[in-house]
């Protein structure tokens, strides 16, 4: 069994939605998530927009405080640590965002952007830092000629390379990649995915790879977690997703992916309607208003818990 790098226990994050007059209702962005990330693996996290993927990613890196539950990184509860210990652990985990532009200070040159992590963590002297920056830049496929340019002078794909370079600077173990290729054109997307795979192999990185695109997730994940309205509804090794007996929501997601194959017969939409508002969650199984299989009373009355079916495969559905 490989080492567990990160684990969450009943992790919850609620937001109070501000109302005009009084305190508004509670929005359960992440609700009772239990998952583990193993050293060296890529765990894919899929789900539609607003299901809580980014919030979960921020919680895992202690960039957001949980409302309930805990996150353990290398055995330590991230939200109970003294600040200096947390700072040490932070070096070992980094994040890559969808839109690198908004996360890169537009007034800093590439050199300063990439030096900053070393400065913050007081690593190396001036010359060492220079050498490291050049090295890391080459690692992501950019050259020393880019050092004195500003982020706006780069294309979307190149900016994402800068985002990756910054995340890589401190040689982290875990990288949360939040929709890293969603804003990119498909030919550039392929370049960035290749880079992420290459870096993982070279540095034994562990990824939490967040995406709404199942094809992208299927490309590089060892295990996949499917999220719906703040909860993990399915979690298992990739091979499981080629089989039948999946969570009805996963089945619907899979059938909705438009495949680049015109001989595939027309797939009538699996689901009717829209996901319900995360503020007024349906009773019972949160998926029941849209679920084509929700025939049981239980579906409307009882929240299904994540249960192991076969080894390592977990489903939250009364019928599975």
Partner 1 sequence: MLDIHNLAVRFHTPTGLLQAVGGVSLNLKRGETLGLVGESGCGKTVTALAILRLLPCTAELSGEIRFADENLLRLSEERLRQVRGNRIAMVFQEPMTALNPVLTIGDQVAESLKLHRGLSTRQAWREAARALTPVGLPEPNRHLSQYPHQLSGGLRQRVLIAMALACAPDILIADEPTTALDVTIQSQILALLTKLKKDLGLAVLLITHNLGIVAQSADRVAVMYAGLIMETGSTIDLFQNPCHPYTQGLLASVPKLDFDQPPGGTLAGIPGQVPNLYQPPRGCFFRERCSHETPRCQEPPPWVEVEPNHRVLCWLCKNDQEFRNKSSRFK
Sheet holding 4-16, edge to edge: 26-38, 4-16, 68-73, 76-77
Q: Tell me if 91 sits within 8 A of 172, measured CB to CB.
A: yes
Using CB under 8 A as the binding rule, whether residue 201 contacts partner 1 is answered as: yes
Radius of gyration in angstroms for the set of CA atoms belonging to the chain, rounded to a whole number:
21
Closest approach, Cβ 79 to partner 1, in A, equals: 31
User: What is the SS3 assignment for 102?
Assistant: helix
Closest approach, Cβ 278 to ligand ADP, in A, equals: 5
Closest approach, Cβ 32 to ligand SF4, in A, equals: 15
Selected range binding partner 1 among 53-61, 95-103, 169-177, 219-227, rule: CB under 8 A: 219-227
**Could you tell me which residues come within 8 angstroms of residue 176 by beta carbon, excluding any fewer than 6 positions away?**
57, 60, 61, 93, 94, 95, 96, 207, 208, 210
Q: Give the pair of three-digit tokens for residue 228.
A: 């719906």
CB atoms within 10 A of CB 92: 15
Q: Tell me if 98 sits within 8 A of 178, measured CB to CB.
A: yes
Nearer to ligand SF4, 6 or 240 (CB): 240
> Which has the closest alpha carbon to 177: 58, 302, 82?
58
- Of 71, 285, 313, 314, the one binding ligand SF4 (CB under 6 A) is 285
Q: Are strands 42-46 and 68-73 parallel, antiparallel or unpaired?
A: unpaired
Classify the C-alpha dihedral 154-157-159-162 as positive or negative: negative
Nearer to ligand SF4, 32 or 172 (CB): 32
Closest approach, Cβ 246 to ligand ADP, in A, equals: 20
Picked from ligand SF4, partner 1, Mg ion, none, the partner binding residue 20 (CB below 5 to 8 A depending on kind) is none
Total residues binding partner 1 (CB under 8 A): 56
Using CB under 6 A as the binding rule, whether residue 248 contacts ligand SF4 is answered as: yes
Using CB under 8 A as the binding rule, whether residue 220 contacts partner 1 is answered as: yes
- Of 219, 247, 288, 313, the one binding partner 1 (CB under 8 A) is 219
Task: Provide DSSP, 298-314.
Answer: HHHHSPPPPEESSTT-E
Distance CA 307, CA 192 (A): 35
Using CB under 8 A as the binding rule, whether residue 204 contacts partner 1 is answered as: no
| Interacting residues with ligand ADP between 240 and 299 (CB under 6 A) | 278
Distance CA 41, CA 95 (A): 16
Q: Tell me if 195 sits within 8 A of 163, measured CB to CB.
A: no
Picked from ligand ADP, Mg ion, partner 1, none, the partner binding residue 67 (CB below 5 to 8 A depending on kind) is none
Using CB under 8 A as the binding rule, whether residue 186 contacts partner 1 is answered as: yes
Nearer to ligand SF4, 71 or 291 (CB): 291
Residues that bind ligand ADP (CB under 6 A): 15, 27, 29, 47, 49-55, 278
Residues that bind partner 1 (CB under 8 A): 42, 48-49, 155, 157, 185-191, 193-194, 197-198, 200-201, 212-216, 218-222, 238-242, 252-264, 266-275
């Amino acid at each position: 069994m490989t080492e567990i790098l990160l684990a969450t226990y009943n992790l919850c994050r609620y937001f109070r939605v501000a109302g005009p007059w009084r305190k508004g209702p509670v929005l359960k962005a992440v609700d009772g998530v239990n998952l583990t990330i193993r050293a060296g693996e890529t765990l894919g996290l899929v789900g539609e927009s607003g299901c809580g993927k980014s919030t979960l990613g921020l919680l895992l890196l202690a960039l957001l405080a949980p409302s309930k539950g805990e996150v353990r990184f290398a055995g330590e509860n991230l939200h109970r640590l003294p600040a200096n210990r947390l700072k040490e652990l932070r070096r070992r985990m980094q994040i890559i965002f969808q839109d690198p532009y908004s996360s890169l200070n537009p007034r800093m040159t590439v050199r300063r952007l990439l030096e900053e992590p070393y400065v913050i963590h007081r690593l190396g002297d001036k010359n060492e830092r220079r050498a490291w920056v050049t090295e890391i830049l080459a690692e992501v496929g950019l050259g020393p000629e880019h050092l004195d340019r500003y982020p706006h002078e780069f294309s979307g794909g190149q900016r994402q390379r800068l985002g990756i370079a910054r995340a890589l600077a401190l040689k982290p173990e875990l990288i949360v990649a939040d929709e890293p290729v969603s804003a990119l054109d498909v030919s550039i997307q392929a370049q960035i995915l290749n880079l992420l795979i290459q870096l993982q192999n070279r540095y034994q990185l562990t990824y939490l790879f967040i995406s709404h695109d199942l094809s992208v997730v299927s490309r590089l994940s060892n295990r996949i977690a499917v999220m719906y309205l703040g909860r993990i509804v399915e979690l298992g090794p990739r091979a499981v997703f080629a089989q039948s007996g999946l969570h009805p929501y996963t089945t619907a997601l899979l059938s909705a992916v438009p495949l680049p194959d015109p001989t595939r017969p027309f797939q009538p939409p699996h689901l009717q309607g829209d996901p319900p508002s995360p503020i007024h969650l349906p009773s019972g199984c949160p998926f029941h208003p849209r679920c084509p299989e929700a025939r049981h009373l239980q579906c409307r009355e009882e929240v299904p818990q994540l249960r192991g079916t076969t080894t390592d495969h977990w489903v939250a559905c009364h019928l599975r």
